Structure 1
Amino acid sequence: MGAILLALGLAVLAWALVIGDLMHQHRPALHWYVVGYPVTACRVVFTWRRVAVLNDLAVSRLPARTLIGHLLVKGDPVRPVAPRMSFPSATRLGLAVTVRLHAGQTPATYLKAADALTHAWKVHAVRVTSPERGLVLLTATASDPLQRPGLATAPPELLSALIGVMETGGAWVLNLRLVPHWLIVGATRSGKSTLLARLIAELAPQPVALVGVDCKGGMELGLFTGRLSALATSRREAVAVLAALVIDMQDRMSACRSAGVRSVWELPDKLRPVPVVVIVDEIAELYLSDGTREGKAEAEQCSTLLLRLAQLGAALGIHLVVAGQRVGSDLGPGVTALRAQLAGRICHRVNDPGTAEMVLGDLNKDAVTVAQAITAQEPGTAVCTGPDGGWNRARSHLTTTAEAVATARKHAATTPELPALTRAMTALEGDDE
């Protein structure tokens, strides 16, 4: 009888392992709720006191004494008291616990202990936030959801592009109505070009004008010429295109002033001008000068025109998406002023820690550290800011160049014509002749 029960137990165990493995491969969320969460929750509860003591999260107190008990004498040992923690609650990708801070404690101490918590709980990462004074929320992610990102979905919306998936499991959406201007930074083969291709593919079906500035001879954005209302492939052409956009912006100001409104979005549909998205690839090419008087003048003009578009364009339906490998002050003060106007930030893997600091340092120091940790084995992974001022790790969906080009060609017939840009490009062609 004992042998039969043993064999039956082994069979049940083997069956559970098989089912668990299948769930892990095909239904990772279900596997987490059934198998992963109970084990990890127990680990969090049973290791909390020890982890708190080792990482200076506990407070030392003298043991309680009673009148009948022995008197408190010199040298009595103190007792470390761990902060009070809620029972771990399951989330879709991990778990979360709320910790009540001891008097005098700050969330900074928990930020320093995040790595220790990650290793002690055997999870992918632990994020530390403070939802209200006196409380800290520890959110643990069981595994990296960006290793096998699912195809997230988002409702279609004007000037909104579904870029990929965030570490939280939600859709990564770049919404130009909420955050009008964006800065995208990343080293070669970090996923920056793929993200731009994805953005163009998402915006191509929409009634918006796309304007490209690619001073590398149009090697990147030239592939989408059919869907671009204008494309500048040199700094001289960039000056003409940006100047034409400033003129168009002034016309929009006049229309808003005449109608007594503060933005083009308050205008009637028939009077509202078409939204414009200006995509600049490799911003450094606009700012670097060859030392000649003409080169310096062009660089200064580009700097001034871009800054004007960034400062005034949001309410007038003109948006900037600026990409590059570096946006440091070594390119000149104009880059620093422009960077301050680009509230949306996306930082892929970078070549040096200073670049991540330049992109995210004025927003959140923790985001800088996370961005610096992105490796070459994580193409498409980036740290992005949100409309609420927070940040997330995210990964763009893989959109091949061929797919993006096909989408651009499919919608080439709907490309809006901007008269100011047409006149500028015609004038340039006349000068060349």
Structure 2
Amino acid sequence: MGPILLALVLAVLAWLLVVGDLVRRHRPAWHWYLTGYPAAAWRVVFTWRRVALLNDLAVSRLPARTLVGHLLVKGDPVRPVAPRISFPRATRLGLSVVVRLHAGQTPATYMQAADALVHAWKVHAVRVTSPERGLVLLTATATDPLLRPGLASAPAELLSALIGALETGGAWVMNLRLVPHWLIAGATRSGKSTLLARVITQLAPQPVAMVGIDCKGGMELGLFAARLSALATSRREAVAVLTALVVDMQDRMSACRTAGVRSIWELPDKLRPVPVVVLVDEIAELFLSDGTRQSKAEAEQCSTLLLRLAQLGAALGLHLVVAGQRVGSDLGPGVTALRAQLGGRICHRVNDPGTAEMTLGDLNKDAVAVAQAITAQERGVAVCTGPDGGWSRARSHLTPTDEAVATARKHSGMTPDLPAIERALVALDGDGK
């Protein structure tokens, strides 16, 4: 019976290993709940006190100074006490722990200890937040959820585009009704153009007008010309298009004022103008100048017109999605002013720290550090802001170019006419001749 029993045990172990590997690959959540979470919870409970001591999270109840006779003795307090924690609660992607702060502690101390917690608990990342006064929530992610993100889903809404998946497992949505203007930064082959294609694919079936500005000769946005109401392929054309949009914006203001409302969304359906989404690829091409008077004038015009659209367009159904490889104050003061109006931010891998700082620095310094850590192998991964003002890592769903082009052509019949822009471009061609 001995050899037979041994063979049976080995067969069961082999079967468990095979099944475990299949579960890990095809049902990672199940694998985490069955094997990963118990081990991680054990590490959290049994390493917490030591980690707290080594990272100055523990506090002694004894004073750091005392009186011995007539002498005042100072020193390090003894018998420090680690903060109390809740039992680790399992989540779909990791676990969470609630910590009750000692008097005088702040969440900043725990943010500094996040890397130590990652190594002690053997997890991918630890996020530190403070849900209420006196408490800190430590959210540990077992593995990088963006390595193989699932297809997220979200309800279809007007001016809303499902971009991809957040690191929390939720849907990454660009809702232009909630956040009307967006800035997208990313180096070559970082996923920026794929994200723009995804936005166009999501907006194509909706009753909205899309206007493209691609000063690289239309190489990127020209692929989707069938669904664009207008496309500017040079800065001269961009000035004409933006000028026409500003005039249209003023007409929308007049319509709202006449109707006694504060936005086009309060107008009756038959009077409401079509929403317009302006897609700008490579913003630097609009601001750079070769030193000539005409070039400087065009750059200043683009800066002023974009800023006016960003400041006044949200309530009037005019939205900006501005993308570029590099965004910096060296492009001119207009870029900094425009950035302040673009509430939505997306930062892919960038080539210089200044672009990451320009994109996310005025919102959260931690987000800048995370964006700079994105590697060249993580195409489509970005740091994005949410409507609540927070930030998260996310990955856009891969939308092949041929699929995006086919979608644009399929819905070309829904492309609204924008006569003012068409007249401006025709007049520009006439002047050129």
Aligned to 1:283: 283
Indicate the SS of the match to 1:377. Answer: coil
Mapped partners of 1:189, 1:213: distance in 2: 20
| 1:227 and 2:237 correspond | no
Percentage of identical aligned residues: 85
Question: Where do residues 12-411 of structure 1 align in structure 2 (5 Å cutoff)?
Answer: 12-62=12-62, 78-411=78-411
Instruction: Report the count of equivalent residues.
Output: 424
Mapped partners of 1:74, 1:268: distance in 2: 75
CA spacing shift, 1:22–1:424, aligned 2, 3 Å: same
CA spacing shift, 1:76–1:393, aligned 2, 3 Å: closer
Using structure 2 for the length normalisation, give the TM-score: 0.95
**Cα distance, 1:62 vs structure 2:** 4.4
Indicate the SS of the match to 2:229. Answer: strand
Mapped partners of 2:424, 2:313: distance in 1: 19
CA spacing shift, 1:74–1:169, aligned 2, 3 Å: closer
Indicate the SS of the match to 1:183. Answer: strand
**Cα distance, 1:6 vs structure 2:** 4.7
CA spacing shift, 1:37–1:211, aligned 2, 3 Å: same
**Cα distance, 1:428 vs structure 2:** 1.1
Q: Deviations over 1:89-134 (max 9, x none)?
A: 0111000000011111110111111111111111111000011111
Aligned to 1:416: 416
**Cα distance, 1:4 vs structure 2:** 5.4
Aligned to 1:66: none
Q: Deviations over 1:215-239 (max 9, x none)?
A: 1111111111111111111111000
Mapped partners of 1:74, 1:8: distance in 2: 66
Mapped partners of 1:386, 1:318: distance in 2: 20
Indicate the SS of the match to 1:212. Answer: strand
**Cα distance, 1:74 vs structure 2:** 11
Mapped partners of 2:220, 2:53: distance in 1: 54
Indicate the SS of the match to 1:349. Answer: coil
Mapped partners of 1:137, 1:6: distance in 2: 47
Q: Deviations over 1:37-59 (max 9, x none)?
A: 11111111111111111111111
Unpaired runs of at least 5, structure 2: 64-72
Aligned to 2:70: none
CA spacing shift, 1:235–1:77, aligned 2, 3 Å: closer
Mapped partners of 2:34, 2:339: distance in 1: 47
Q: Deviations over 1:4-34 (max 9, x none)?
A: 5555444433332222211101111111111
The answer to whether the Cα contact below 8 Å between 1:367 and 1:391 also exists between their aligned partners in 2 is yes
Between stretches 414-423 and 343-352, larger displacement belongs to 414-423
The answer to whether the Cα contact below 8 Å between 1:20 and 1:35 also exists between their aligned partners in 2 is no
Mapped partners of 1:412, 1:11: distance in 2: 60
CA spacing shift, 1:212–1:75, aligned 2, 3 Å: closer
Mapped partners of 2:253, 2:343: distance in 1: 22
The answer to whether the Cα contact below 8 Å between 2:60 and 2:77 also exists between their aligned partners in 1 is no
Mapped partners of 2:114, 2:11: distance in 1: 40
Indicate the SS of the match to 1:231. Answer: strand
Unpaired runs of at least 5, structure 1: 64-72
1:361 alignment partner AA: G
**Cα distance, 1:152 vs structure 2:** 1.0
Q: Deviations over 1:320-349 (max 9, x none)?
A: 000001211100000000000000000000
CA spacing shift, 1:156–1:76, aligned 2, 3 Å: closer
Mapped partners of 1:224, 1:351: distance in 2: 27
Mapped partners of 1:259, 1:29: distance in 2: 54
Mapped partners of 2:391, 2:4: distance in 1: 56
Q: Deviations over 1:56-99 (max 9, x none)?
A: 11113449xxxxxxxxx999981121110000001110000000
Mapped partners of 2:396, 2:422: distance in 1: 33
Mapped partners of 1:365, 1:129: distance in 2: 15
Mapped partners of 2:74, 2:297: distance in 1: 78
Q: Deviations over 1:126-167 (max 9, x none)?
A: 000011111100000111111111111111111001111110
Q: CA RMSD in A?
A: 1.7
Mapped partners of 1:74, 1:411: distance in 2: 76
Indicate the SS of the match to 1:273. Answer: coil
1:214 alignment partner AA: D
Question: Where do residues 421-432 of structure 1 align in structure 2 (5 Å cutoff)?
Answer: 421-432=421-432
CA spacing shift, 1:10–1:46, aligned 2, 3 Å: farther
Mapped partners of 1:321, 1:173: distance in 2: 14
1:212 alignment partner AA: G
Between stretches 3-12 and 194-203, larger displacement belongs to 3-12
Q: Deviations over 1:172-221 (max 9, x none)?
A: 11110010000000111100001001111111111100000011111111
Mapped partners of 1:348, 1:88: distance in 2: 32
1:333 alignment partner AA: P
The answer to whether the Cα contact below 8 Å between 2:213 and 2:278 also exists between their aligned partners in 1 is yes
Mapped partners of 1:21, 1:135: distance in 2: 38
Indicate the SS of the match to 1:105. Answer: coil
Mapped partners of 1:278, 1:245: distance in 2: 9
